Amino acid sequence: MLDRLRSPLERAYLRYLHRRVETVPTHVAVIQDGNRRYARERGGDAPDGHRAGADTTERVLDWCADLGVSELTLYAFSTENFERPDEELEPLFDLLEAKLLEFADADRVHDQGVQVRAIGDVDRLPLRVREAVDYAEERTAENDRFTLNVALAYGGRTELLDAAHSVAREVAEGDLEPDDVDVETVERRLYDRPIRDVDLIVRTGGDERTSNFLPWHANGNEAAVYFCTPYWPEFSEVDFMRAIRTYQAREASWRRARAERAAALVRAVAEVELAEARRVARRLRGRLPRSDLDAVAEELPEGGAVSEPAPTATGTAVDGADGESEPAG
């Protein structure tokens, strides 16, 4: 009975979540964690979990297309993954090769205008995977509505270190002046980088860390982060929409903070300008006829009216700061 009710409830909840979407991230990055644990808990091997995770990847692409996300980066294979045993790596390489070839020829990929790009130290991968990467990139090169980055043999610190080495080498050789090194200088030396900064990172599997993933494009942009407990093969559209809501809440918080900072700046500027206007008005007292004083008062904000000079024995007092006559009192 409970299972029969769950599906209608989930559909209703999904409709509710979709109605609540006001802002959509441009670039979503996903750390697909939990494939091996998913397989082990079901009595299978790691390759079984990776194959189940590949099905989730295809569904996420559809969800992104439905919402209007423009770019998706998947952490498919990290530099640390090379340390896994060969009996796990070889089936994983087989799966990467097969999925890249399959994806490159899929009608829906071309219907959705998906362009596939690999980022990472791809040269470390087996030849068959590199050839599949080349094929997928060439087949989808003309598509321009959605960008899918597949992070393969990727490590964020290695990427930044390689960029730093490249900059240092050019400076040492005299091809680059140290004062000319800026953000663009570094970005040009990163891997075939994402087109856009990352707005939202999603990590499945229960761990709350970003694991050396896109430090320049995510941390530099202060991306929103959504951690969830389902393993990647179990990741559902409801989980995805909750991630979108996390991004939306962060954006709303930023908008409030920006509005508060802008209001504080306006108040600060207004206070400075009002203080300056009052200072000038004080210096004009006693020099202008009453009609002109009234005209100045009308230009001042509320509370900034020019008061009549108080009568004194001499009518003026000497301002000690600049030596000009000023009404006493």
* 73 close to 151: Cβ distance less than 8 angstroms: yes
Distances (CA, A) of 113 to 58, 68, 109, 110, 116: 14, 12, 6, 5, 10
Distances (CA, A) of 202 to 27, 52, 311: 11, 18, 74
User: Which position among 33, 48, 197, 199 bears the catalytic label?
Assistant: 33
Handedness of CA 300, 303, 309, 312 (dihedral sign): negative
Residue 81 annotated as catalytic: yes
CB atoms < 10 A from the CB of 216, how many? 20
Collapse the DSSP code of 90 into the 3-class scheme (helix H, G, I; strand E, B; otherwise coil) and give the result: helix
CA distance 13 to 35: 26
* 226 close to 201: Cβ distance less than 8 angstroms: yes
* 53 close to 225: Cβ distance less than 8 angstroms: no
Q: Distance between terminal CA atoms of the chain? A: 88
CA distance 225 to 244: 10
Torsion of CA 254, 208, 24, 139, to 10 degrees: 140
User: Which position among 55, 62, 66, 81 bears the catalytic label?
Assistant: 81
Q: Of 116, 105, 131, which is closest to residue 61 (Cα–Cα)? A: 116
* 251 close to 23: Cβ distance less than 8 angstroms: yes
| Residues in a beta bridge with 288 | none
CA distance 91 to 41: 19
* 300 close to 284: Cβ distance less than 8 angstroms: no
Strands 325-326 and 317-318, by their bridges, are: antiparallel
**Catalytic positions:** 33, 81
